[in-house]
Every structure is written in structure tokens, then in C-alpha cells.
Amino acid sequence: MKVEHSLKPIYAASSKVLILGTMPSVISREKNFYYAHPRNRFWKVLSRVYQEEIAENIADRKAFLKRHHIALFDCLKSCEIKKSSDASIKEPVPNDLRPILKNSSIKMIFTTGNQAHLLYQKFLKKDTGIEDILLPSPSPANCPKGIEKLLFEKYSKIKEYTDNPL
């Protein structure tokens, strides 16, 4: 099924890092916000990294991102995809990251999962000139034992970039 990206990027002039996924999941598109699946660990892990309660609603999550200088978007503008399976992505069309980079203070890009990393490397890195740091996917489909510890350890790297002065 062809899917068009329906969520706006979240960023501010003060954003220091950009976290990129591939394409919003079916549930994220239905709920009109990033990482909205209740079993997705993205918000849980970021809350733990910054030692805050998990923001439950969209306004609180946007405020959390702004407070911690984090921008959020996805690599793809559109693609053929079966449900929410990154492995099924075909006909990828990349998003344009230039408006985010032009209007923010992004110094580092993180990609959530192997597919986001590969898409970023193939389509977007040449325009941004910024290397990405690959993070494990927070998706409920990525459920190996001990993933919470791994996610926390890897996602803690974000804080190194957001807590340092520009």
C-alpha cells in the first residue's frame, strides 16, 4: 500500500539533534503523532534518559522535545509499505530535511533502526553532510531480551549532544 507521510516535523530553532525514523507506523498515523504504539519504547526510553516522567499527551511530548533540544521526523516522504513493516518498504521517496537544518541548530542526526540508517545513508546524507548515529529500533517488533538496557545505553548518547552548549 502506498503511504504518504502525514506528520509534520517537530523542531525548534534551539534543536541540537534530529532523530529520524523511517515512516510513521499505522498507529502513529492514526493517532497523528510519532512513536504512538503503546508498546513502542521510544518515549519510555527518552524519559528515562532525561530522568523525567513519561509525557502522555502530544502537547507534553512536544514540550519534552523542545525542552531537550530534540527534533523529530522521518526519512521518507512516501513509500509502498505493508502495515508498519520497515522490511517491506519499496519505492521510497525521501523527505527534504533542508528546512529543518536551515531553521535549527542541528549538530547530530540519530536514526532509529537499521532501515532508517540505510535510508538516511542512501538518500539524505549527501544533502545534510552529517553522519548519523544508529540507534536500536524502539519498535515492539524489536523485542530481544535485555532490550531496555540496550536502548537506554544507546539512547543516552543523545543527551551528550543536547546537554552541551552549541
Number of domains in the chain: 1
Residue 15: predicted pLDDT: 98
Residue 118, class by beta-carbon neighbours within 10 Å (0-12 exposed, 13-18 middle, 19+ buried)? middle
Cα angle 133, 80, 26 (rounded to 5 degrees) comes to 75
Residue 117: predicted pLDDT: 98
**Positive or negative: CA dihedral 92, 6, 74, 113:** negative
Q: Can you read off the three cell numbers belonging to residue 76?
A: 521518507
Cα angle 155, 69, 152 (rounded to 5 degrees) comes to 15
Its domain, for residue 58, covers: 2-162
Please check whether residue 22 is in contact with residue 88, taking contact to mean a CB–CB distance below 8 angstroms. Answer: no
CATH code (residue 66): 3.40.470.10
Separation CA 108–CA 31 (nearest Å)? 28
Separation CA 61–CA 33 (nearest Å)? 10
Query: Which residue type occupies 151?
Result: L
Please check whether residue 117 is in contact with residue 123, taking contact to mean a CB–CB distance below 8 angstroms. Answer: no
| Weakly modelled stretches of the chain, pLDDT under 70 | 140-147, 150, 165-166
Separation CA 52–CA 72 (nearest Å)? 18
Q: What is the value of pTM for the model shown?
A: 0.94
First to last CA, the chain: 42
Residue 151: predicted pLDDT: 75
Please check whether residue 50 is in contact with residue 143, taking contact to mean a CB–CB distance below 8 angstroms. Answer: no
Residue 141: predicted pLDDT: 67
Residue 20: predicted pLDDT: 98
Residue 5: predicted pLDDT: 97
Residue 142: predicted pLDDT: 60
pLDDT digits (tens, 9 = 90+) for 55-82: 889 999 999 999 999 999 999 999 999 9
Residue 55: predicted pLDDT: 86
- Helix, strand, or coil (residue 34): coil
